[in-house]
A and B are shown apart, each in its own frame.
Chain A
Amino acid sequence: METMVEKIDITRWNQLEPKVKTLWRVSNAIYALLLSGLAIIPDLIVRKAAKGAWPLFPFALPLIAFVVLGLLMQWVVGRSYYCYRYKLGDDDLAVAKGVFWKSWRFVNRNRIQHVDLTSGPIARALGLVEVSIYVGGMPTAAATIPGLSQYDAELLRASLVKAADMPGSMMTQQPEPTVPPIEGEDIRG
């Protein structure tokens, strides 16, 4: 008998747009830069305290921190891209993510209150959009799917919102996405 773990086999779920790896690499590099910037303070203190006996050149500590952090974060990017998946079922949306701390979320379409599309400057340059799905009573998004193309994101939003419609709603038909798909690929197919 097929177990539930095999049934919920995320390797068969949709992956994000591969360009999202670039987005994560860039933003990780910025984070690493900011974090390693903090190492300037201990660097200054140590060099002052050692009075010339400090073996490393000036600002070596932040540089080392930047390299180590950066490499770690870049290594994780590939794994998290592999692990970040979603699946649009007939009546639900499932999102799986996490490399070390894994999570699988199941949101029923009937419970969706609204869907947000957001994209920052780097994501916009890459043509990526983040879809956030909200349910009732929770202040934060119930699920987020980063790194979809504008076309896929709008399609996803339209289909999620349509299914969540109550009887007697004003919306009778699904709006078409405002942009064409990237390579003629359609998540509906």
Chain B
Amino acid sequence: MVVELQRFVRQFIFLIGYGVFVMVTGQGGEEIGFELIGLGIGALVILPAVFKYYSYGYSITDGKLLVKSGIIQKNLRTIPLDRIQNINVKRDWLHRLLGLVVLEIETAAGAQAEATISSLSEEQGHVLQAQLLGQQARSYSRIKREDEAVRVVYRPTSWELFLVGASENRAGAIVAAIAGLGFFQPILNSWLDEQGTQVVRNASRLGEGEWRIFALGFLVFLFIGWVISIVSTFVKYYGFELSEKEGKLKRVYGLINHFENMLPIRRIQTVHIDQNLIQKKLKICKMYAATAGGMAVQSGQEGQGNAQLLSAPLLTPVLRDEKRSELLRLTLPQYDLEHPDYQRVSKKTVLRHLRSGFWGALFVAGGMTFGIRMLVDHAPEVARRAPLWQLQYGPTLVFCGFMLLSLFSGFLFHRFARWSESNRVIANRLGWLKVRWNYLPMAKIQLTEVTQNPAQRWLGLGTVTFYSAAPSFKNTEVDDVDLGDAMALAYGTHRVAGTTPDALFDGF
């Protein structure tokens, strides 16, 4: 019930915030009114929790999990145990304080958890988890004993966690830095004005000073963002441990909010590995594994359900390069992922990139020409202040710049993109600054598609997309191969997929 209480506190946080605001400022409403609001909030928070506590229930009968809920509209949900994809055991700080856990049960029916059983005691939670995963009901002490006997696959050191936090996710840090600058800009301006009243400055010097302060501020906030990224990685994945037992992978982590996840290995649909340039030098990478259950809550902010639908499900936040092949063998055991017969994409991809960039470049250059014409016609005094070459050659330069960029990206793509269909696995490797390896066994493919955009049609190229049952996972793509090859690949692969026996029964 306490956890329900916490949820409602979260939901009505704005109401409470309003109450606090009224109290602090002493504005709005008579005292009686405020007390009424307080009483109302209290009732709103506590009553639903009480009702939920008395109406919620679950049981396991005949290989099915039954979950009942609802006061007015009763709801009974039945989940066959053999359809469960993975089970999460979560504890945030409040749960840990009270010794409770939340069990999330996911099936293939969508990205969100299909059943959430909150506020179990730790013992109940683990016994239930074992039961749901098809094991005999047994005592908690025995489960604990068995847990100690599992094979630990990977346990990163604190140094590795530090490295991965330090070497990635700069985007968030940069945003934080910019937001920070925006926040402090008024203060900065007022400080500059103050200085300005004392010193008679000439305009160019002021500009220089401002620039320096901005650069310094940017660096400072970049550094703060970097530190935040290290600390947050550390807090989130503290004590990370990946272990294996009876064909199931178990992951445990978290300093403040504790998270425990169990997933059957044969449910894994696709695997991918990310590594940026810095991580390549440090010889570490990140590994993701997707089931049809989504595992959406495991990445990003925990406990916020479908908000992270499109982010990839993380298997381990950091992995030493030398452990990579061991983990690949573990997650997709029937397949040889280490010796892909990589092929290049068609050379025509350079032309395709050029052609795709052409219309964008033309549009921007045309817009610029129009703007300059308007400026010259309607505000000649402003136009006169700009250097002549900017007016005359600006659009042409921009157009050429865009085209050069397209050319460059085309060359990069041809140089670094690889794909392979050997060993009954579709594999590809993409990217330069950040390299990603995707592995999708043909048996796990749901459907294949060949697409061709106008630029590709001009060159006789096509893109093959392979869809797996993992909803939160970006589908594996092979870009810019000859249309004939693309068709052969798509057609051949989907036939292999449909006739592979383990796809029928083990695909999910």
Decide: A4 near B487, CB < 8 A? Known: A110-B498, A136-B469, A137-B469: yes
Selected from B448, B487, B503, the residue in CB contact (under 8 A) with A110 is B503
CA–CA, A102 and B454, complex, Å? 8
Decide yes or no whether A124 CB sits under 8 A from chain B.
no
B507 CB, min distance to chain A CBs, angstroms: 7
Cβ contact within 8 Å between B483 and A5: yes
Contacts of A142 in B (CB 8 A): 446-447, 467
A6 CB, min distance to chain B CBs, angstroms: 9
Selected from A8, A104, A138, the residue in CB contact (under 8 A) with B469 is A138
In the complex, the chain A residue whose C-beta lies closest to that of B485 is: A4
CA–CA, A105 and B493, complex, Å? 12
Decide: A135 near B446, CB < 8 A? Known: A5-B483, A104-B487, A110-B498: yes
Contacts of A143 in B (CB 8 A): 447
B475 CB, min distance to chain A CBs, angstroms: 10
Decide: A92 near B494, CB < 8 A? Known: A5-B487, A104-B450, A137-B470: yes
Decide yes or no whether B13 CB sits under 8 A from chain A.
no
CA–CA, A4 and B483, complex, Å? 9
CA–CA, A108 and B443, complex, Å? 11
Interface string of B415-455 (1 = CB under 8 A from A): 00000000000000000000000000000001111111110
Cβ contact within 8 Å between A137 and B494: no
CA–CA, A147 and B505, complex, Å? 34
Cβ contact within 8 Å between A108 and B110: no
Cβ contact within 8 Å between B491 and A106: yes
Decide yes or no whether B316 CB sits under 8 A from chain A.
no
CA–CA, A7 and B269, complex, Å? 31
Contacts of B453 in A (CB 8 A): 100-101
A113 CB, min distance to chain B CBs, angstroms: 9
Cβ contact within 8 Å between A103 and B451: yes
- B443-477 contacts to A, CB under 8 A, are 446-454, 457, 467-471
Decide: A103 near B449, CB < 8 A? Known: A8-B491, A136-B469: yes
- A133-169 contacts to B, CB under 8 A, are 135-139, 142-143, 166
Contacts of B497 in A (CB 8 A): 108, 111
In the complex, the chain B residue whose C-beta lies closest to that of A143 is: B447
B296 CB, min distance to chain A CBs, angstroms: 12
Decide: A137 near B483, CB < 8 A? Known: A101-B453, A105-B449, A107-B494: no
Contacts of B446 in A (CB 8 A): 107, 111, 135-138, 142
Cβ contact within 8 Å between A110 and B504: yes
In the complex, the chain A residue whose C-beta lies closest to that of B444 is: A137
Decide yes or no whether B228 CB sits under 8 A from chain A.
no
Decide: A102 near B447, CB < 8 A? Known: A110-B503, A111-B498, A139-B471: no
Contacts of B450 in A (CB 8 A): 103-104
Q: What is the total number of residues of chain A having a CB less than 8 Å from a CB of chain B?
A: 28
Cβ contact within 8 Å between A102 and B448: no
Selected from B452, B498, B503, the residue in CB contact (under 8 A) with A109 is B498
Contacts of B499 in A (CB 8 A): 91, 110
B448 CB, min distance to chain A CBs, angstroms: 5
- A88-130 contacts to B, CB under 8 A, are 91-92, 98, 100-111
Selected from B108, B457, B498, the residue in CB contact (under 8 A) with A136 is B108
A12 CB, min distance to chain B CBs, angstroms: 14
Interface string of A54-73 (1 = CB under 8 A from B): 00000000000000000000
Decide yes or no whether B490 CB sits under 8 A from chain A.
yes
CA–CA, A91 and B504, complex, Å? 14
CA–CA, A137 and B469, complex, Å? 4
Cβ contact within 8 Å between B292 and A102: no
Contacts of B111 in A (CB 8 A): 139
CA–CA, A139 and B497, complex, Å? 20
Decide yes or no whether B219 CB sits under 8 A from chain A.
no
In the complex, the chain B residue whose C-beta lies closest to that of A135 is: B446
Cβ contact within 8 Å between A91 and B484: no
Chain B residues with a Cβ under 8 A of chain A? 108, 110-111, 269, 292, 446-454, 457, 467-471, 483-485, 487-488, 490-491, 494-495, 497-499, 503-504, 507-508
Q: List 7 A-B contacts (CB under 8 A).
A: A5-B484, A101-B452, A101-B453, A106-B491, A110-B504, A111-B447, A139-B110
Known: A4-B487, A102-B457, A137-B108. 4 other contacts (CB 8 A): A101-B451, A104-B450, A111-B447, A138-B467
Instruction: List 8 A-B pairs, minimum CB-CB distance, nearest first.
Output: A137-B469, A108-B498, A4-B488, A4-B487, A106-B494, A135-B446, A102-B452, A137-B292
